[in-house]
Amino acid sequence: MAEEQKQDLLQLYRFCFLMLADAAKAQEIFHATLREAAQLAADGEAPRDRLWFFRNARWRCLEVSEQGLQPEDVDLEQDELAEWAPSQIEKLEPQQLAVWISGAPEPQRTALALFYLNEFSHRDLLSVTELKPNELSKLLCNGRREFQAWLDAAVPAEQP
């Protein structure tokens, strides 16, 4: 297997983790997705591209997350992106980011998870999220600002 494809599958696990913020569930969905791909390949109907894995895992994640506690539908505060935001983010643990992203409503959660995997082109993102460019733009813009507001509250930074 090419190193690139192996990397894609590792990113698939990270995607599941960002969607659920739960390592065990992410692992379960990762395995289920790969099992289905293997079954399809055995039947001579192998997935056409790597996006299939992320689409499949996405719907599995949404299915799983519907069973647990649901986040309240509230308008989060938004702040302008700060120059010092990178230093705030560096102080976080990956789990904290995953908790924040997994708490976002759909389809913003999928959009943020896929965008920050830094694996997909613009068209790929639109394809997997099934969003229009203006919708994706709005979700990413609001996501950043809301995350900045959360950062300002959770990891106050010393402004230069």
Partner 1 sequence: MSAAVQLSRRDRMMLHCVPLREEHVDDRALRTAIHHARKTEVLAIQQNFDKAAAGLVQAIPIPKEIVEWVPTETFIAPARRPWKRYAQNPALLATGIAVLVIAIVGVIQLVDRLNRFPGEATARRLLTTASSNKSMMLDPVKTEAGALGDFLFMKHRLVHYDVPAEFADLKTLGCRVFDDEEGQRVAQVWLVEKKMQLFMFPAERDVKTGAVKHFEGWRYLDQDRWTGVVKEESGVCFMAAVRGSEKDLAPYISKKKE
Chain residues that interact with partner 1, rule: CB under 8 A: 1-2, 5-6, 9-10, 13-14, 17-18, 23, 27, 30-31, 34, 37-38, 40-41, 45-50, 52, 81-83, 85-86, 89-90, 92, 94, 97-98, 115-118, 120-125, 133-134, 136-138, 140-141, 144, 147-148
Residue 159 Cβ vs partner 1, minimum distance, rounded to whole Å:
14
Residue 6 CB burial class (10 angstroms; 0-12, 13-18, ≥19): exposed
Peptide bond into 107 cis (omega under 30): yes
The CA distance from 14 to 113, in Å, is 9
Find the shortest distance in angstroms from Cβ 128 to partner 1. Answer: 13
Q: Give the Cα separation of 41 and 98 in Å (integer).
A: 31
Least distance to partner 1, CB of residue 22, Å: 12
Specify the residue, 62 or 138, whose C-beta has the smaller distance to partner 1.
138
Which residues have CB under 8 Å from 92's CB, separation 6+?
A: 155
